[in-house]
Amino acid sequence: MKKWLIIPIIIGLLFIIHIFYMGYINENILNNFVNNKNSNYEITDLNFKKGFLHSKAIFIIKDKLDLNFSTKINVIFNNNYFSKYVAQGNLSNPFYFLDQYLKDKGLANFTLTSEQKGFNLRFKFQDINLSNEGGDALLKNTSVSILTNKNMQAKHICLNIDKARFAQFYSKLSMRDFNYKKHFNYPVPLGDLLQPKEGIEELQFHSFAFNNNKIASFYSRNIFHFQGKNKLKIHFQGKANDIVLDMNSKFYQNLNFDKVDFDIIWDDITKNSYNKFNINSFAKKGLKLDIIDLALYKDNKKIDIDGNAFISDQNDKASIQISSTEEPDKIFAWGQFFGGLNQYFIRNNDLFIMNLSYDSLSNPQLKINSNQFSHIDLN
């Protein structure tokens, strides 16, 4: 009989040991996050209370970029392996103008669950629906999921927004089913998520509209690759469907395409440019684009564009070839207002081809099919 009494005692001891072990693991998770030094933010006012079944932590994250961004984080750790969540908590709202629209002035709730060889950190943001005399904003069902390793370094991130709408005076933007995914080649500290890292990202959305410009659907798969320590290369591949561009002020009608396929490389992006998305650095170092293929489809006709372009504050250069399976004037009726587009294309078998070259430092700057281009005023 006494032997049987030992069993619950052993089980109780194992449970207590497991509680203390999980408490140690949870404290280590917090330390890995807090001790991650980052030039963009700092963690202050850390208060950690270690308990038996639960531990609590409160701290503040402040930016170092003079954005006056500050949010308070409340976390409750479950020191029990069998709990549904490793940790759960909330973020306070850092934007004072949203306080009256958010419940308890909270921006988001989050949960941390255990996954194979790591964790899943998921944020669920409060819906935003505000309106004033200048415009309105709607953000519905927004969530972020980050898959990490045991050291809380991100391996994969996913952002979802069911519906977004922003309007300011005469400008309007709306979008549905926005999804963004990024798989990192190497684990990334959480504080470095906004900086470009090697990996593959996917971006897609539906029913996008900006004023009178519309896209029914969009998908892009982008590969980020570093060339040495100071140069970044991004390879964009994807497609868009049912595109409408508002060109009434230029061509007296909209410009529509049934589908667009693209394969474009943005090369030689310098470290100063991508680290802080410095526009001045982009202009100084230059923007280099290689158009592997840009295919436009309209009324079962195809227009192919390929070539390269370099844009900088000192010199702009481009070498582009445009080819069409149909006479350009039959595809783009607006060309008649400018004397027709056929005159700029050369027929080669079943294709209509235009070779365009531009160099801002040359005279003439623009050539079409090796001939100087006569200026057309589209204003």
* pLDDT tens, residue by residue, 283-322: 667 778 899 999 999 988 899 999 998 888 778 889 999 9
Q: Which has more pLDDT, 158 or 189?
A: 158
- What angle is formed at CA 358 by the lines to CA 287 and CA 364, rounded to 5 degrees? 140
H or E segment and range at residue 160: strand 153-168
Distance CA 187, CA 154 (A): 5
Residue 160 bridge partners (DSSP):
143, 179
Instruction: Using the predicted structure, report yes or no on whether residue 379 has a pLDDT greater than 60.
Output: no
Instruction: Using the predicted structure, report yes or no on whether residue 4 has a pLDDT greater than 80.
Output: no
Average pLDDT value for residue range 191-210: 88
Is 121 among the domain residues?
no
Residue 87: name the closest of 107, 61, 113 by CA: 113
């308070």: which residue's tokens?
A: 72
Is 268 among the domain residues?
yes
Residue 90 bridge partners (DSSP):
74, 109
């080819």: which residue's tokens?
A: 323
pLDDT in tens, 5-52: 666 656 556 556 656 666 667 777 777 777 766 666 778 888 888 877
Give the model's confidence band at 276: pLDDT under 50 very low, under 70 low, under 90 confident, else very high. Answer: low
Q: Which has more pLDDT, 8 or 62?
A: 62
Judge whether 199 and 221 are in contact, CB under 8 Å.
no
Is 365 among the domain residues?
yes
Q: How far is CA 178 from CA 197, 203, 345, in A?
A: 21, 8, 39
Is 85 among the domain residues?
no
Residue 197: name the closest of 224, 229, 223, 234 by CA: 224
Is 260 among the domain residues?
yes
Judge whether 337 and 378 are in contact, CB under 8 Å.
no
Count Cβ atoms below 10 Å from residue 213 Cβ, excluding itself: 15
Residue 356: name the closest of 341, 335, 338 by CA: 341
**pLDDT value at position 7?**
61
Judge whether 79 and 51 are in contact, CB under 8 Å.
yes
Average pLDDT value for residue range 142-158: 91
How many percent of the chain have pLDDT more than 70? Answer: 84
């623009």: which residue's tokens?
A: 366
Report the SS3 class of residue 96. Answer: helix
Largest Cα–Cα separation, the chain: 105
One-letter amino acid at 292 equals I
Provide the number of structural domains found in the chain: 1
- Backbone angle region of 286, left / alpha / beta, with phi > 0 → left and psi within -120 to 50 → alpha: left
Instruction: Using the predicted structure, report yes or no on whether residue 76 has a pLDDT greater than 80.
Output: yes
Average pLDDT value for residue range 229-244: 90
**pLDDT value at position 315?**
82
The token duo for 185 is 């080649």
- All residues at 6 or more sequence positions from 375 whose CB lies less than 8 Å from its CB, including other chains: none
Report the SS3 class of residue 332. Answer: coil
Q: Which has more pLDDT, 165 or 248?
A: 165
Instruction: Using the predicted structure, report yes or no on whether residue 66 has a pLDDT greater than 70.
Output: no
- 208-212, 239-243, 359-363, 370-374, range with the lowest pLDDT: 370-374
**pLDDT value at position 377?**
44
Average pLDDT value for residue range 330-358: 85
């005469």: which residue's tokens?
A: 170
Is 33 among the domain residues?
no
Is 343 among the domain residues?
yes
Instruction: Using the predicted structure, report yes or no on whether residue 1 has a pLDDT greater than 60.
Output: no
Instruction: Using the predicted structure, report yes or no on whether residue 376 has a pLDDT greater than 60.
Output: no
pTM for the model: 0.83
Instruction: Using the predicted structure, report yes or no on whether residue 355 has a pLDDT greater than 70.
Output: yes
């390879």: which residue's tokens?
A: 235
Highest mean pLDDT (candidates 42-51, 101-110, 304-313, 363-372) = 304-313
- All residues at 6 or more sequence positions from 175 whose CB lies less than 8 Å from its CB, including other chains: 161, 163, 164, 165, 205, 206, 207, 208, 209
The average confidence (pLDDT) of the chain is: 82
**Would you call 79 exposed, middle or buried from its count of C-beta atoms within 10 A (0-12, 13-18, 19+)?**
buried
Residue range(s) defining the domain that contains residue 312 = 212-379
Is 199 among the domain residues?
no
Residue 4 bridge partners (DSSP):
none
